[in-house]
Amino acid sequence: MTRINFDHANATPLAPEAKQAMGDWLERAGNPSSLHTAGREAKQAVDTARGHVARLIGAQADEIYFTSCGTESNNWAIKGLLAANRRKGNHVVVSTIEHPSVLLTVRRLEKEGWNVSYLPVTREGVVEPDQLKQALTPSTALVSIMHANGEIGTLEPIAQLARIAKDAGALFHTDAVASTGLVPIDVRAFGVDALSLAANTFGGPFGAAALYVREGLRILPLFEGGGQETGARSGSEALLPIVGMGAAAEAASRAMSQRAATTQRLRDRLKAGIIERVAGVRVNGSWDARLPQHVHVCLDGIGSESLLLGLDQAGIAVGLGSACNSKAMRPSHVLTAIGLSDDEASGAMVLTLGPSTTDADVDAMLERLPAVVERLRHVTAATAR
């Protein structure tokens, strides 16, 4: 049985360009901090990668700082910007559907005395600009709202939200891990002060990510040490992942428009086919402002974890959209935030397509899914009796 991947959000295959770039360095020894020839060559490789990543989001190379993952970038953005800009105030604003690396960070800040406001979202997961306006105060130091929600796929009106925050004198950070390399991003047009991204979203390796920080903006480092990344993020640079990230960023810049058109066509076909072949389907997230490769559905009468495992047995990998506790089976904070009840959030799964997804993959999913759903619903009904 051919295995099919509809979970590219969590496990995007390494782009050929990234694999080649990393392979060129597998048998070479060079630390970018060393002054000898091998060290200088390694530094040049890191600088080249930095330039590719910068161009992907419309930034300057010296505004890009490499990190290990999106979680680190989000933590650093929030803690570092607030620590360096305390004069702005002690109030932070986030949305209720942010990634845990943002929500848990601000909850820790609350325990330390910071004031935090949590913005509600619409049924489609959209942060409304008027809600942000009402939440801002003279003491608001930072607003952090994600560009795209990786669970339900909704894209937020970041340029409008950032402008509102800036007009009130607050800094603005966006978590763009779920969207970078998939849709056009321009930090200048967005008007953001900081932006988080990660390589594995667009065909780069795990272990490489970055934080964009607007030129001239102060941010305190999370790590103290040897002064790498111009002193902002100490620690020996992870040469191989960084080189792979740079190559993947360059490839994504070239292919983004064509890939988005292809995956969007397949995505729409997948969604329509699921609705046609399976009863009791709820499609979540905005369909007008959405990641091009993303479908999120809830299927009545099935547990999310059972659905994932059932499809896995059928040779199909999908994302566990409800990020639930395996014992409590409680809906994720995102599904709760958009107003779904426990019953409405049942059978949640996220389907994400990638460059390698084909019409044949969609056909196979639409052929295998109904049988899996029917079997699981039968089991659920029998158990309930």
Please provide residue 296's backbone torsions phi and psi, each rounded to the nearest 5 degrees. Answer: -125, 125
Neighbours of 385 (CB within 10 A): 4
Mark whether 324 is an active-site residue.
yes
Q: How far apart are CA 154 and CA 156, in angstroms?
A: 6
Q: How far apart are CA 383 and CA 191, in angstroms?
A: 53
Are 92 and 74 spatial neighbours (Cβ–Cβ below 8 Å)? no
281, two tokens: 């389907």
Q: How far apart are CA 134 and CA 132, in angstroms?
A: 5
Pick from 70, 80, 99: which is nearest to 245 by CA?
70
Which region, left, alpha or beta, applies to residue 359 given φ > 0 means left and ψ of -120 to 50 means alpha?
A: alpha
Pick from 173, 1, 155, 161: which is nearest to 73 by CA?
173
Pick from 242, 241, 225: which is nearest to 233 by CA?
225
Question: Which secondary-structure segment (H or E) carries 242?
Answer: helix 239-277
Q: How far apart are CA 191 and CA 216, in angstroms?
A: 14
Question: Which secondary-structure segment (H or E) carries 77?
Answer: helix 70-84
Are 45 and 263 spatial neighbours (Cβ–Cβ below 8 Å)? no
Pick from 304, 303, 314, 322: which is nearest to 383 by CA?
303
Task: Exactly one of 324, 348, 351, 373 is catalytic; name it.
Answer: 324
The upper half-sphere exposure of residue 102, i.e. CA atoms within 13 Å in the direction of its Cβ, equals 29
Which residues are designated catalytic? 324
